[in-house]
Amino acid sequence: MCAQALLGFDRPLELIRHTHQRLEHRCALMQRLSAHLSASGCDADAQATAGHIVRFFEEEMAHHHEDEELEFYDAVVEAAPAKSRAAVAKLVAELRGEHERLQAVWRDVLRPQLAAIMEGRSKELNREAVDRCHMLYVSHIEREEETLLPIAEKRFSPEQLERLGRGMAERRKEPYPDGA
């Protein structure tokens, strides 16, 4: 059972915040891994840590981006007050673009390097890419949590929250809390 199921898909906005916290932790972990590789090489701890990071990004972050892209973002734009809807739609477009840039850094640089570390074939982890990824995600999370989540918390109906939570559960092939 995944962490989201334990927290409850019936509280989808809390799950989004929780994933953001876990993401910040994984980015910081990548920074520590980079320092560890420089000091100790590609030892068993480095390999295990790289595997942990890869699993998080391949599983949890893939689902998280889908949650936002397929349901959350559009629902927030729709729920935004009319006077701010255009600004929220612009922010969502920017956040979607950031997802694409972040996924490219992951796919093209970090994922291949972490895979090689995981397999004990390399001790190279591009610190500039790690720092860029961390900085971009911190900024991305701040914008979502300062603008989008407050709109959702104030304006989403119970039905919208349930729809979002059910979608999250379905993407993870986990049951929604009511068993349906």
The per-residue pLDDT string of the chain (180 residues; one tens digit each, 9 = 90 and over) reads 454 445 789 999 999 999 999 999 999 999 999 999 999 999 999 999 999 999 999 999 999 999 999 999 999 999 999 999 999 999 999 999 999 999 999 999 999 999 999 999 999 999 999 999 999 999 999 999 999 999 999 999 999 999 999 999 999 999 998 754
Overall domain count for the chain: 1
Sequence-ordered list of residues with C-beta below 8 angstroms from that of 101, at least 6 positions apart, any chain: 136
Instruction: With respect to residue 177, please indicate whether it lies within any of the assigned structural domains.
Output: no
Whole-angstrom Cα Rg for the chain: 18
1 is a domain residue: no
Query: What sign results for the dihedral spanned by CA atoms 24, 43, 104, 13?
Result: negative
Q: What is the CATH number of the domain that holds 69?
A: 1.20.120.520
Q: Is residue 15 part of a domain?
A: yes
Please give the model's pTM, rounded to 2 decimal places: 0.91
Contact 63, 168 (CB under 8 A): yes
Q: Which of 73, 33, 71 is nearest to 53 (CA)?
A: 33
Q: How many CB atoms lie within 10 A of CB 164?
A: 22
Host domain of residue 26? 7-171
